[in-house]
C-alpha cells in the first residue's frame, strides 16, 4: 500500500484516539487506573521514602473526659508529658478555647505553655454566622511578600474559632479548616489541601505552613508567595512548594505511614514516675519517642469519629494525620505534579513521528516497533518521575501505540520498487559465455 495513505490513516486514527481518551481522562473515567499507574511509578522510582521531621501525637478526647478534670488541666498534663523530651516544635491541631474561667487550671496551663517552644495553634475559618463576622487577624501570621493573582484564593467570611488567649501567650494561630470553602477532593495524586487564605486584603498561611515556619524558625518575611506564571509556588525558607492558582497543594497518600505516630497514653507512661514501667516502654518505643526531641510534634484527635478524609486507597484519615502528611511532604520535597501541557503534547507528537517512521518498513517491523515505542515511553515516564516527581496519565500514548499496532497488522506492507536490469548489464555475462 502507498506510504502516504498509510501515514494519513495513522495520523487520523491516532488523533481521534488521543482526543477521545484525553476527554475521558478529564472526566475521571480512568481514576482507578491512574492511581494504579502512579503507584507503579512510585514503586519503581522510590526505594524508600526519605526520613522527615514530623511526629504525630494522637490524643483520645474520650479518655480526657473520663478523668472529670478541667480540660485546661488535661492539656497541661499533655504538655507536661511532652516537656520531658524537650521538643523542638509543638503544634496543636484542635482549636482549643474555653468560656468557663478557672484560675487554678488557667495557671497550670499557662505554666506549661510558657515552658514550650513557640506553639502552632489551630484555628477554624468558616461562613458568617449570626451577627457581624469576626475578621480580626490579631494572633495570625500575615504574609507580605505575595505576587500574582489572588482572586482564586479561598476567601475567609468569618473566623469561627481561635485558640484560647492563654495558649496564644506563647503560640501563633493558623487555620486548619475552612468550612464550606475548601476543596479537598481525593484524586490520583492524593488530597488537595489549602495552604493560603485571604482575609480582606491580607493573605494568611495555613497551619501546615506555620508548622514549617516554627520548626525552622522562619520569619514571615522569608515566606514568598508567587501565584503568577504557569507554575505557582510558595517558598518557605529552603522549601519550594508547588501549588495550584487557588493556593492548594496535593498530599500523596503514600506519605501516610512515613512518620512516627504515638498514642498519648504511651507518652504518659514513658514520662511517668514509675521508672520500671517507663524504662520498659522507652525500650519498646525508643525510635518513636526519641523523635519527639527533634521532630515537629503535631498533637491531634485521631479516633475513628475524626477520620473525615478518604484516601484514594479507601482508607480514612483524620485532619491531624492529613496535616502531618502535608508537613512530611514539604520537608521531604515529595511534591507529585503533572507534566506541563506542552511536555505532554510534545510526547504525543514524538510518538506520532516514530509511528510514521515505522510505516516505511514491512509489517513485522511495524508491529514489533509498536511494542518498542511503548517500552520507550514507559522508560521515559520512569526517568522523568525519578528526576522531577512529575507524571502524566499514559492512556493517550497507549492509544497512539494501539493504533500503530492495529494498522500495522491489518494494512498491507509497502511494496519496494524493483530496479530494472539494463540490457547492457544483462548481455555482458552472455557474451562471456559465448566467447568461452
| 346/127: higher pLDDT | 346
pLDDT at residue 281 in the model? 46
Question: From the centroid of its chain, how far is CA 128?
Answer: 30
Angle between helices 207-215 and 319-332 (to 10 degrees): 50
Render pLDDT for 418-435 as a digit per residue (tens, 0 to 9). 455 555 555 545 445 445
pLDDT at 394: 93
Q: What is the pLDDT of residues 315-328, one digit of tens each?
A: 889 999 999 999 99
pLDDT for 16 equals 95
Q: Give strand pairing partners of 187.
A: 190
How large is the average pLDDT for residues 286-291? 74
The per-residue pLDDT for range 182-210, each reduced to its tens digit, is 555 667 778 888 999 999 899 999 999 99
Mean pLDDT score of the chain, rounded to an integer? 84
- Spatial CB neighbours of 5, under 8 Å, sequence gap ≥ 6: none
Read off the pLDDT of each residue in 391-407 and give the average, rounded to a whole number: 92
Q: CB atoms < 10 A from the CB of 215, how many?
A: 24
Cell 562471456 locates to 432
Q: At 378, list the grid cell.
A: 514507559
Give me the mean pLDDT over the 83-98 stretch.
Answer: 92
User: Does residue 67 register a pLDDT over 80?
Assistant: no
Strand partners, 337: 390
Section 31-51 average pLDDT: 77
pLDDT given at position 129 = 66
Burial class (CB in 10 A: 0-12, 13-18, 19+), 167: buried
Cα–Cα distance for residue pair 416/418, rounded to 1 Å:
6
What is the 3 state secondary structure string of the chain? Answer: CCHHHHHHHHHHHHHHHHHHHHHHHHCCCCHHHHHHHHHHHHHHHCCCCCCCCEEEEEECHHHHHHCCCCHHHHHHHHHHHHHCCCCCEEEECCCCCCCCCCHHHHHHHHHHHHHCCCEEEEEEEECCCCCCCCCCCCCECCECCEEECCCCCCECCEEEECCCHHHHCCEEEEEEEECCCCCCCEECCEEEEECEEEECCEEEEEHHHHHHHHHCCCCHHHEEEEECCCCCEEEECCEEEECCCCCEEEECHHHCCCCCEEEHHHHHHHCCCCHHHHHHHHHHCHHHHHHHHHCEEEEEECCHHHCCEECCCCCEECHHHHHHHHHHHHHHCCCCEECCHHHHHHHHHHHHHHHHHHCCCCHHHHHHHHHHHHHHHHHHHHHHHHHHCEECCCHHHHHHHHHHHHHHHHCCCCCCCCCCCCHHHHHHHHHHHHHC
pTM here is 0.82
Amino acid at each position: 500500500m502507498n506510504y502516504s495513505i498509510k501515514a494519513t490513516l495513522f495520523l487520523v486514527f491516532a488523533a481521534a484516539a488521543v482526543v477521545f481518551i484525553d476527554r475521558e481522562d478529564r472526566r475521571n473515567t480512568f481514576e482507578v487506573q491512574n492511581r494504579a499507574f502512579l503507584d507503579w511509578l512510585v514503586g519503581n522510582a522510590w526505594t524508600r521514602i526519605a526520613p522527615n521531621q514530623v511526629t504525630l501525637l494522637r490524643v483520645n478526647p474520650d479518655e480526657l473526659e473520663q478523668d472529670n478534670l478541667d480540660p485546661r488541666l488535661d492539656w497541661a498534663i499533655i504538655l507536661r508529658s511532652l516537656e520531658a523530651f524537650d521538643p523542638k516544635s509543638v503544634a496543636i491541631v484542635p482549636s482549643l478555647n474555653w468560656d468557663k474561667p478557672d484560675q487554678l487550671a488557667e495557671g497550670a496551663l499557662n505554666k506549661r505553655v510558657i515552658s514550650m517552644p513557640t506553639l502552632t495553634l489551630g484555628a477554624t475559618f468558616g461562613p458568617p454566622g449570626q451577627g457581624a463576622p469576626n475578621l480580626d487577624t490579631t494572633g495570625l501570621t500575615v504574609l507580605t511578600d505575595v505576587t500574582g493573582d489572588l482572586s482564586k484564593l479561598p476567601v475567609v467570611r468569618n473566623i469561627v474559632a481561635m485558640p484560647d488567649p492563654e495558649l496564644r501567650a506563647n503560640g501563633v494561630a493558623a487555620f486548619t479548616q475552612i468550612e464550606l470553602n475548601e476543596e479537598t477532593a481525593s484524586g490520583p495524586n492524593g488530597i488537595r489541601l489549602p495552604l493560603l487564605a485571604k482575609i480582606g486584603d491580607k493573605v494568611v498561611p495555613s497551619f501546615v505552613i506555620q508548622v514549617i515556619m516554627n520548626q525552622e524558625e522562619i520569619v514571615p518575611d522569608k515566606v514568598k508567595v508567587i501565584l503568577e506564571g504557569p507554575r505557582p509556588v510558595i517558598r518557605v525558607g529552603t522549601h519550594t512548594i508547588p501549588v495550584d492558582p487557588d493556593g492548594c497543594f496535593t498530599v500523596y497518600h503514600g506519605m501516610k505511614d512515613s512518620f512516627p505516630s504515638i498514642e498519648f497514653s504511651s507518652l504518659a507512661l514513658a514520662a511517668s514516675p514509675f521508672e520500671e514501667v517507663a524504662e520498659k516502654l522507652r525500650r519498646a518505643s525508643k525510635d518513636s519517642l526519641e523523635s519527639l526531641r527533634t521532630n515537629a510534634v503535631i498533637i491531634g484527635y485521631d479516633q475513628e469519629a475524626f477520620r473525615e478524609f478518604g484516601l484514594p486507597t479507601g482508607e480514612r484519615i483524620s485532619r491531624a494525620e492529613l496535616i502531618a502528611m502535608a508537613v512530611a511532604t514539604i520537608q521531604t520535597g515529595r511534591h507529585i505534579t503533572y507534566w506541563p501541557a506542552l511536555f505532554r503534547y510534545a510526547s504525543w507528537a514524538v510518538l506520532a513521528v516514530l509511528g510514521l517512521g515505522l510505516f516505511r518498513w514491512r509489517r513485522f517491523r511495524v508491529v514489533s516497533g509498536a511494542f518498542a515505542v511503548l517500552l520507550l515511553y514507559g522508560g521515559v515516564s520512569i526517568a522523568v518521575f525519578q528526576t522531577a516527581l512529575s507524571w502524566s496519565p499514559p492512556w493517550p500514548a497507549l492509544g497512539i501505540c494501539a493504533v500503530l499496532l492495529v494498522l500495522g497488522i491489518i494494512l498491507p506492507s509497502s511494496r519496494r520498487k524493483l530496479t530494472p536490469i539494463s540490457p547492457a548489464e544483462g548481455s555482458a555475462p552472455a557474451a562471456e559465455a559465448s566467447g568461452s
